[in-house]
Homo-oligomer: A and B are copies of this chain.
Amino acid sequence: MIENNYYSQENHGPYEVYNIGDFQLEDGGIIPECKLAYVTFGTLNEEKNNVIVIPTWYSGTTKIMETYIGEDRALNPNKYFIIMINQIGNGLSSSPHNSPEPISIANFPHVRISDDVRAQHQLITEKFGVEEIALVVGGSMGAQQTYEWAVRFPNMVKRAAPIAGTAKNTDHDFLYTDTLIEAITSDPGWNGGVYQSAGDVSAGLKRHAKIWAVMGLSTEFYKQEKWRLFDVDSCEEFISGFLQPFFEVMDPNDLLTMAWKWQRGDVSRMTGGNLEEALGRIKAKVFVMPIDEDMFFPPRDCEAEQKLIPNSELRVINSICGHFGLFAAEGKYYTDQIDKHLNDLLETNV
């Protein structure tokens, strides 16, 4: 275990922790006393049918997902019981940096998107007795989990909204994630995963941040100096004053656990590699919501999958911030689009 105050309740809470016990992973290995950090908003109704599940994206926690909810929003806690769950490896749920031996730091086992969704299923059924989900919605790796939910539990999930993510990760996206991984593991301070603190891997984390700067935004974002949305005064400051500090405090093993998982997100693992069959299983009404300027989950990749989902629509989100549009730095311009589509989806009878 490594002390890292970044992941504290002060920074990312308040959140609660649920122990799902020893958790068997798909690729082998066990997380003993596996813990899921989660947070809820609103109240579960008597019918237990007003549940919205929100998983988290790469490097993100449930804290940032709070941007997506509000009393005047589609994800309204006065109406819905919203359960946000931190993915395994994100630093709040069981993760390399916060796990004891024998799975501490470099010894943490490989985790898949499917493991997350099985663990989340255990949490919401055991803890809340929930058997029906009105909506699963998530961005990026949260979209991967959303697809996994819809395919794995087709009778349970009534609606799904994967934003800026795919059901089966692409070769291009795998390569992109490789460059992120290599930026970290090429740092001598990484030392095969055995370091004293994130600071030992600072140079690698900074390079990792710069690769995000290239692929995570858009060419137009920089041309129009939209980094101003992030309260910085120059492109340089966006890198050195925002993106690099943002990632530099995170635990490298935690990031790598998520990156490995991200690379292998694939619902067709449930159907022997047949993506059409896997997506054909979905019973939920699905809105596939790519971001128009996304450089690694481009709309055409998402649209190809949407066409394989029986009861689905393509709803493209416009954001000059590209993949980072997810951060909602554009404010109402972005959230109004999200809310419009989610309202339409939630109003759909299923």
Contact = CB atoms under 8 A, between A and B. Distances in A.
A296 B219 CA distance: 7
Interface string A212-250: 011101111111000000000001000100000000000
Contacts of A260: none
A170 B217 CA distance: 14
A85 to B, nearest CB: 29
Q: Which of A172, A188, A235 is the most central at the interface, judged by chain B CB atoms within 10 Å of its CB?
A: A172
Contacts of A33: none
A43 interface: no
B219 A298 contact: yes
Q: How many copies does the complex hold?
A: 2
Given A171-B235, A188-B188, A235-B171, A301 B179 contact: no
A310 to B, nearest CB: 23
Contact of A178 (B182, B188, B210): B210
A186 interface: yes
A186 B203 contact: yes
A211 to B, nearest CB: 5
Given A170-B219, A211-B211, A222-B170, A239 B175 contact: yes
A300 interface: yes
A188 B223 CA distance: 34
Main secondary structure, interface of A, reads: helix
Contact of A176 (B170, B182, B214, B220): B214
Q: Which of A171, A187, A204, A214 is the most central at the interface, judged by chain B CB atoms within 10 Å of its CB?
A: A214
B171 A186 contact: no
Given A186-B187, A186-B203, A172 B210 contact: no
Interface range for A: 35 or more
A207 interface: yes
Contacts of A221: 172
Contact of A170 (B210, B223, B295): B223
Given A175-B210, A178-B210, A210-B179, A301 B223 contact: yes
A221 B170 CA distance: 11
Interface of A: 170-173, 175-176, 178-179, 182-183, 186-188, 203-204, 207, 210-211, 213-215, 217-223, 235, 239, 295-296, 298, 300-301
16 contacts: A170-B219, A170-B223, A172-B219, A172-B222, A175-B213, A175-B222, A179-B207, A179-B211, A179-B214, A183-B207, A186-B187, A186-B204, A186-B207, A188-B188, A214-B215, A295-B295
